[in-house]
Amino acid sequence: MTIRRLEQIIHSVATSDGAGVSLRRSLGQSPSTRVDPFLMLDEFSTDDPDDYIAGFPPHPHRGFETVTYMLDGHMLHEDHLGNRGDLLPGGAQWMTAGRGIIHSEMPQQESGRMRGFQLWINLPAAEKMKPAHYRDIRPEEIPHAALPGGGEVRVIAGGIVIAGREVAGPVQGLSIEALYIDVRLPAGGDFTQVLPDGHSAFVYAYEASLSIGPAGDSRRLAAQDAGVLSTGESVEIHADDGSASFLLLAARPLREPVVQYGPFVMNSREEIEQAIADYRDNRLV
Ligand code: FE2
């Protein structure tokens, strides 16, 4: 079995988005830091309300999916379809913008910790103009499984096998066959996962550093960095010094042209101009 190597490290950068939410962006800080079909990954993590209180007031999207996964804090999602979703610790939302959605995500707390992730996943050309869809995933819908050597894994999308038992996440049946898991390892702990050879994959270390790759050829991934994996049939991840937490994502690459203008991600400039005109003329959604 070919073990994937840590091929490229994307250091996250501090930035802000929405009405002034402080965050760290790894994937998506430039076109060369995308991992097809993953367009962007932001981590927001702060105890300071000034970093999050302004939230994300109403704004549009077209052509891709946004996935928000919360570790701490409380946000409220509202969109033009009339959906209201309470984002609570351990919960997620999977929003398919498709041809267009207008939504807001606003903090429902004035103090305390806010921590979580927003991931943007591209849609295939054939699905970019499908109707928008919103799914609120409550914390209890995300299965937790203990790892044999200590630690645990939470499965948000796709499925894995732990100690002979299949653990399936709430999000299934995507055409890109996405896997989205959150893994917590004790100091010195190990995690091995089989991944389809042709799928793109990356790891985001959000708590402590990791060593990734086969014995004798592993590389260190520091906290708040994303590590892009080579092709191969499995990945081996080791928690270095302290207990470590990381996201592991994999999916079938689309291999289609990507043209992005802010919150619109299409395949050509003409389609982007159409999206801008549709939004201006209230025809986006
Ligand atoms: Fe958004």
| Alpha carbons within 13 A on the beta-carbon side of 124 | 11
Between strands 21-25 and 38-46, the pairing is antiparallel
Distance 95 CA to ligand 1 centre (A): 9
Tokens describing residue 97 = 């913008």
Largest CA distance in the chain: 58
- How much distance in Å is there from the Cα of 101 to the middle of ligand 1? 9
> 275 in a domain, yes or no?
no
Give the span between the Cα atoms of 60 and 38, in whole angstroms: 19
pLDDT band at 241 (very low <50, low <70, confident <90, very high): confident
CA of 75 to the centre of ligand 1 (A): 13
Integer-rounded Cα radius of gyration of the chain: 18
Domain span at residue 110 reads 6-251
Predicted confidence (pLDDT) at residue 29 exceeds the cutoff of 90: yes
Burial 202-212 (b: 16+ CB within 10 A, else e): bbbbbbbbbbb
CA of 66 to the centre of ligand 1 (A): 7
Tokens of residue 146, six digits: 């203990």
Q: d(Cα 118, Cα 101) in Å, to the nearest integer?
A: 16
Average pLDDT over every residue of 232-257: 97
**Contact at 8 Å (CB) between 131 and 173?**
no
**72: nearest Cα among 56, 88, 84:** 88
The torsion region of residue 186 among left (phi > 0), alpha (psi -120 to 50) and beta comes to: beta
Name the H helices within 114-193: none
* Gap from CA of 138 to ligand 1 centroid (Å): 19
pLDDT > 70: what percent of the chain? 100
pTM to 2 decimal places: 0.97
Q: What per-residue confidence (pLDDT) applies to 76? A: 96
Looking at the 3D structure of the chain, how many domains does it have?
A: 1
pLDDT in tens, 119-160: 999 999 999 999 999 999 999 999 999 999 999 999 999 999
Within a domain: residue 212? Answer: yes
pLDDT single digits (tens) 86-118: 999 999 999 999 999 999 999 999 999 999 999
244 falls within a domain:
yes
What is the CB neighbour count within 10 angstroms for residue 216?
Answer: 5
For residue 264, tell me if it sits in a domain: no
Residue 32 lies in a domain: yes
In this structure, is residue 279 part of a structural domain?
no
* Residue 135 Cα to ligand 1 middle (Å): 14
The token duo for 235 is 């990945």
The whole-number pLDDT of residue 1 equals 85
Assign residue 72 the CATH number of its domain.
2.60.120.10
The verdict on residue 258 lying in a domain is no
Residue 261 lies in a domain: no
